A and B are shown apart, each in its own frame.
Chain A
Amino acid sequence: MTASRLAAGGSAIDRSRPIRFSFDGASVDGFAGDTIASALLASDVVVVGRSFKYHRPRGIWGVGVEEPNALVDVGGPQATPNTRATTEPARDGLVAKSVNATPSALTDRNAFLDRFSRFIPAAFYYKTFMWPDWHMFEPRIRAMAGLGKVDTDWTSPGTPDQINHHCDMLVLGAGPAGLAAAKLAAGAGLSVTLVDDQPKPGGSLGHRAGEVDGKPAGVWIEETVAELAAGGHLVLPSTTAFGIYDHNLVGLNQRHLDGRPDTMWRVRPRHIVLATGAIERPLPFANNDLPGILSADAALVYLRRHAVLVGRRVVVATNNDSAYEAAAALAEAGADVTLVDIRRDGTPVAPAKVRLVKGRALASAKGRLRVEGVTLDDGSRLDADCVLVSGGWTPTIHLFGQARGKLAWSEARAAFLPGDPVDGISITGAAAGAVSLSEVFASSETAVASLGRTKAAAPRSTGVEATDGIVAAWPMPGSKGRIWIDYQNDVTVKDVELAARENFVSVEHLKRYTTLGMATDQGKTSNLPGLALMAGITGRTVPEVGTTTYRPPFTPVPLASFAGPRVGELMAPVRRLPLESVHRASGAVFQEYGGWLRPAHYGGRGADAERSIQDEAWRARQSVALFDGSTLGKIEVIGPKAAEFVDFLYYNTMSTLTPGRCRYGFMLSENGVVFDDGVLVRLDEHRFVVSCSSSHVTAVHARLEEWRQDRFGRDAVYIHNATSEMATLTVSGPNARKLLEKLELGLSLDDTDLPHMAIGHGSYAGDEVRIARVSFTGDRSYEISIRADRAEPLWAHLRQAGQAFDAVIIGLEALMILRAEKGFIVIGKDTDGTTLPHDLGSEGPRSKRQTEHVGRRSLLTEEASRSNRLQLVGLTVPSGEAPLPTGAHAIRRVDGKLKSQGFVTSSYQSPTLGRPVGLGLIERGAARHGETIEIQHLGKIRTATIAAPCAFDPAGERLNA
């Protein structure tokens, strides 16, 4: 028996609430308030994990987010891989498993790897598995690599909340520095939010000696927190600030002990106070990674908060004063304590019942599965079941670094301290290098002094004051034995030396070559020793070597927190038709098209989808089809310069359009490429409707706004996107007019009154309707636009009247066939990012137009006039063959090699023609009608004959049939 739970004490635990959980299959007892780590220590479970590379046995090192060794996979609804046992609350029934160990941390069958360690130094994998091919080795190495396992069967127990929060001051860290800053800021009338990653505020005052304003520290903490809460300030425990982003946006991840998913806070404070404390560093000596070697401060925390005595025969090794309190406390609790101080002079006096050895350092530790003793640098040996080390304190300046704060090296403190101030951020307490409580409070006073006069009295330290007195003890080049720098990534002194020999001397290269400072702990205990060693090897100072870039997140954050409620249907919400439920009742099968959820087809007659689509397309040509075209763009352009405006926006001249008429045209980008096509309606002299492609409405609207504001001015034109205000129901086919006449829409449907490409105004059940005679099917068509909320009766009436004509409701897939039969294009499908309007056969405006329009100059370049441009054609296949695959390349043979000369853009079986129809972009295609070419797809070559794009009713007689 070595580590044990004391019979009394422990400020964090509730002995009236025992809990039991499992670790590596064994049952572990603890109390509410324990972490997994404190409960494991109390049960003397020393080996809790295996190292990343050598599968060395590892024990608990620390007490918080810095923990490099004790990673566990937690199962169940709150499943988290690779979480730190030191920060994970122990809960009744929790199932935890060590990582990187099979079957358990104690009996890992890959432990043999450590015996081959000399053959697998840093970069071993890079250098070894190159021949013949990394991919040959990759699967097995990947299977061995990594730490925890993701539970792929896990489902979220609920939707994580995300909260946007504003406050005057955000204080990060509720130790003495943060509490003082929060209290002073609250006294200055600022709204304060105080955040701490621990379940209880207090920081170091929770386990170290201290007296504030004559009261025990614990009393002062409770009073201060109560005062803040009473003042309406927000105190968030169990919450980690993981990142400071641009313009001082702070990301917080809040854990809930009741099992709810974590909450993400996005905080926009006016001012940030970093009171993030400091993290204790290890000391370099051989085998310093053995289980049972802990941070001295961690041992003090486990003793005072969890009543866990981490060992009976304890060696404490230090290079600074902070470990003396731990040594004293453990001796007081009954351990046999030897304190080995690297310093010969200037040490504090030896605490009661503690043997003090001055001027000595640890040379090595021995033991197999746990530490059994140490050898000092004079060769003397000490037995020990636990070794506590303190190599000094690294201020937690990560968030300051993320906010682009510059660091300043302090030789006296052997640490990087915050340098030049950053706008809106103060840094105080141990994070700013303060040691004694008086210094901590003074730095907090300074931090908030500029923010206004405070009515709160600054706290005063009235107890013993902490001292530092550090003498640096960095890892040295040429040291004997295996000295670990980075426990989590198995980086030793020798690995850093190897990196230096191979010229990876920049700190960023060192990190990537050896993996020093990577993975879940991000080198919180290892970075500074690593770069100090590199400084020693290369004869530079520590600031000359510098630090790696600090980036969020400070600690791992569940992806579920970032996702928040944006999962499933909410991840990319679709736009919906006003008549969606009506279509569903008609058996529509929905698909997403350009962000809209639309009927693809209407199933129908027990046939499979393809047969339904063919049937819809065939019947549409026989009599009459009904189609919901509500997604079609309806952007109104209104104003005294509206005609001039649409002229500029369109490739085609639009100002000559007569009111009441429509014209088809292209919109181009400034580089001449066709951006959108569609019909422009002129309602009256100063009012147009841009009927753009369904999936382009947002982009077209933005483009119109940009030119309006940038070129025409706000008073000249007004733009209104009415797309979702109106439903558009289309009636198309030879009997379209006869069907429409049954509805009595209050206007003449005579072809002289409402010819093709004209609009008419009528009414239906008291609501205005606009009828446009435009056609995307090639048949006589009427697009009826009506208020979206009044569309349902009109649609029902159309269907009811349609029964007499065997009307068919068609989905988008059938419409695609109908338009392809006619050679009508879909932008982005039948065109790509190089297609110019004359590639599609629209040459007129390019050669004749004299007025300026978007993209004009780009159509007059050498590139635009190149003779071998890809041009829109139709493609026919030999009789009896299946449709060409869309995307297949037209090929040409050059010196025995295949070269592309274009590709198939649309391809369907046409039920009306009884053969496939295809469209493509083919080199010089417009001049090659009748030529047979080869088409390749997935290694198979077929033939096709180039034809005019329009395969059905080329004379357009059906428009007026």
Chain B
Amino acid sequence: MQLFPCPFCGPRDETEFHYGGDAGNARPDGADVPIDRWADYLYLRSNPKGTAREIWVHMSCGEFFVMERDTLTHKVLSSTALGGEYAA
């Protein structure tokens, strides 16, 4: 079982976390967003082999954060609270 570092609570078992999608998958607003762009946002995932930047939520505290991890070795590289770019 993996250990994920919640930026607020520290390292916890992976079962306390829920995956929230690719980090940086910015939402395009508007009724006139090109349909391909909207489909990318909804469905296309990068699924990288190696370093991945992902949004996770620590369900115990309810906080979302960005985690960088290696999908091959399962090594966790960093975890940071949502700030700046993700806040309004």
Contact = CB atoms under 8 A, between A and B. Distances in A.
The finding on whether chains A and B are genuine partners in a shared complex, rather than unrelated, reads yes
Interface of A: 245-247, 249, 266, 268, 404, 670-671, 702, 705-706, 709-714, 716, 852, 856-858, 860-861
A860 B82 CA distance: 31
Given A671-B42, A705-B62, A706-B64, A247 B2 contact: yes
A246 B42 contact: no
Contacts of A671: 42
Interface in B2-43: 2-3, 14, 18, 20, 27-31, 33, 35, 38, 41-42
A404 B75 CA distance: 13
Given A247-B74, A268-B3, A858-B42, A712 B88 contact: yes
A247 B3 contact: yes
A249 B3 CA distance: 9
25 contacts: A245-B1, A247-B3, A266-B1, A268-B3, A670-B41, A671-B42, A705-B57, A705-B62, A706-B57, A706-B64, A709-B63, A709-B86, A710-B55, A710-B64, A710-B86, A711-B27, A711-B86, A712-B88, A713-B88, A716-B88, A852-B29, A852-B30, A857-B28, A858-B38, A861-B35
A246 B2 contact: yes
Contact of A246 (B1, B28, B38): B1
Contacts of B28: 857
Contacts of A710: 55, 64, 82, 86
Given A268-B3, A711-B27, A857-B30, 19 more contacts: A245-B1, A246-B14, A247-B2, A247-B74, A249-B3, A266-B1, A670-B41, A702-B59, A705-B57, A705-B64, A706-B20, A709-B63, A709-B82, A710-B82, A711-B88, A712-B87, A716-B88, A857-B31, A860-B31
Nearest to B33: A857
Nearest to B38: A857
A561 to B, nearest CB: 16
Contacts, number: 56
Nearest to A721: B62
Nearest to A641: B88
Size band of the interface chain B makes with A: 20 to 34
Interface of B: 1-3, 14, 18, 20, 27-31, 33, 35, 38, 41-42, 55, 57, 59, 62-64, 73-74, 82, 86-88
A531 to B, nearest CB: 26
Contacts of A404: 73
A670 B42 contact: yes
Given A671-B42, A710-B64, A858-B42, A702 B2 contact: no
B86 to A, nearest CB: 5
A403 to B, nearest CB: 11
Contacts of A245: 1
A580 B69 CA distance: 46
Contacts of A861: 35
Nearest to A249: B1
Name, among B14, B28, B59, B62, the residue most crowded by chain A CB atoms within 10 Å (CB to CB). Answer: B62
- Nearest first, the 5 closest Cβ-Cβ pairs linking A and B are A713-B87, A246-B2, A709-B64, A247-B3, A857-B38
A711 B62 CA distance: 15
B88 to A, nearest CB: 5
Nearest to A268: B3
Given A671-B42, A705-B57, A857-B33, A714 B87 contact: yes
A852 B27 CA distance: 11
Contacts of A247: 1-3, 74
Contacts of B64: 705-706, 709-710
Contacts of A702: 18, 57, 59, 62
A714 B42 CA distance: 24
A720 to B, nearest CB: 11
Contacts of B73: 404
Contacts of A858: 38, 42
B45 to A, nearest CB: 14
A80 B45 CA distance: 46
